[in-house]
Chains A and B, each alone.
Chain A
Amino acid sequence: MDGGDAVRARQLVFLLPEYLKDASKKMKRGLMFVKLVNPCSGEGAIYLFDVRLQQLFEIKVFKEKHHSWFINQSVESGGLLHFATPMDPLFLLLHYLVKADKEGKFQPLDQVVVDDVFPNCILLLKLPELEKLLHHVTEEKEIDNKKYYKYSKEKTLKWLEKKVKQTVAALKTNNVNVSARVQSTAFFSGDQVSRDKEEDYIHYAHGLISDYIPKELSDDLSKYLKLPEPPASLPSPPSKMAAQRRKRDK
């Protein structure tokens, strides 16, 4: 103690999936925060990696001006709320596959997922069912029992379209308001409303998924989904509004 008895260590407020607690029974280690690439911006981002479950979690931080926590008998400045939610590792693998594709040839995965800046990327190679995951976004060859992969844009767009569809379904079940137009068009014919709405959902879902893929691929996906230019009235996805992450334009 440095004499300042009021001074205390920084406290972080986290929301974690409940099953991490159960999975941690009898486990002394194996949960770790690591810095890996943000597949959208290419910058660094913090992830939680569970060695036992071999699962990757994304960390997002809720941050709004003028908030603080009271935590028991202490005050914590900033009022930050950290979320750890399961992350599809394929978004990260895709980042490396797209990068390696510039060479335009089939390569073994351990030559694709290499990163001097974020050396913890080797953890990705340990994930279970990696081959099944890669099947969604790559062409593969097997020579002498060794697998070689090559990024496939066609397969990736198909995979992303499925992602958009399941995100649309979740937006509907969660009653997320995807458009300011929803209320006003409700006065008019039913047909028009539902068509407009569906398009807005797809737009919104596309925006959410675009947070995990490079800009170029996001544009290709937009064309693939035949989305028109975004109307100005669309609210931004909750992840952008609420849980701020390192901005890509920073």
Chain B
Amino acid sequence: MESSDEAAIEKHRVHLRPVTLRDAAPAALHLLPCEVLASQSAPVGRFFTPAIRQSPDGLQVSFRGRSLRGEEVAVPPGLVGYVMENEEKLIGKQDFSGGLENHNQEEERKPVEPSEPLERDFDRFIGATASFSHFTLWGLETIPGPDAKVRGALTWPSLAAAIHAQVPED
């Protein structure tokens, strides 16, 4: 079993449900300048959000007794922010129960590979749970400057567009 599992990891596809991209409700995101080791629910609306103040040098809040300064950062034009979550394998199986090719009640668009169905038993599913067009970027004591790495990363899509654009023929 082990070896076939390994093969499945290389073969598997994680399907992103397109419908979730349309239905995702707006979310409030904050990028903190510290590592919180756990990933779990947190009463952000009880402790963090109500403490945010507008000051002359940006937004101001404190977290664990340290002073943070922040500002709204927009998602680059032409892009949308999404929060995605893996779906339990069971849910995927329910939705796509029965044969993958023939017994699907939903109208199947032209399959990409007739000999191999688009979705297979061992595939996984992911869906967008929320969307955003901006987030709040926080720095310790000061707002992250123009050289902050995250700001550099946000210029990447425009450079990537040039690198990957088709070149003209001679």
The answer to whether B155 and A51 touch across the interface, beta carbons within 8 angstroms, is no
Please give, as numbers and ranges, the residues of chain B lying within 8 Å of A44 by CB-CB distance.
10
The answer to whether B159 and A170 touch across the interface, beta carbons within 8 angstroms, is yes
A16 interface contact, C-beta 8 A? yes
B167 interface contact, C-beta 8 A? yes
Report the separation of the CA atoms of residues A119 and B81 in the bound assembly, to the nearest whole angstrom. Answer: 30
B64 → chain A closest CB, angstroms: 12
B44-102 interface with A by 8 A CB criterion: 44-45, 48, 75-76, 78-86
Interface SS majority for chain B: mixed
Total inter-chain residue pairs, C-beta < 8 Å? 256
B162 → chain A closest CB, angstroms: 3
Considering only CB atoms, which chain A residue lies closest to B96 in the complex?
A29
The answer to whether A70 and B159 touch across the interface, beta carbons within 8 angstroms, is no
Report the separation of the CA atoms of residues A106 and B69 in the bound assembly, to the nearest whole angstrom. Answer: 61
A60-76 interface with B by 8 A CB criterion: 60, 62, 64-76
* Residues of A participating in the B interface, judged by any CB pair closer than 8 Å: 5-21, 23-25, 27-35, 44, 48, 51-52, 58, 60, 62, 64-79, 81, 83, 85-88, 117-120, 122-123, 126, 133, 135-136, 158-159, 162-163, 166-167, 169-171, 174, 176, 208-209, 212, 238-239, 241-243
Q: Mind listing 27 A-B residue pairs with CB under 8 Å?
A: A11-B83, A14-B82, A15-B80, A23-B18, A28-B18, A31-B16, A33-B126, A34-B13, A51-B112, A58-B164, A70-B32, A70-B44, A70-B48, A71-B29, A73-B44, A74-B39, A83-B153, A85-B157, A120-B13, A133-B166, A158-B170, A162-B167, A163-B163, A166-B165, A170-B161, A170-B163, A242-B152
* Residues of B participating in the A interface, judged by any CB pair closer than 8 Å: 9-11, 13-19, 21-22, 27-45, 48, 75-76, 78-86, 106, 109, 112-113, 116, 118-119, 123, 126, 128-130, 149-150, 152-153, 155-170
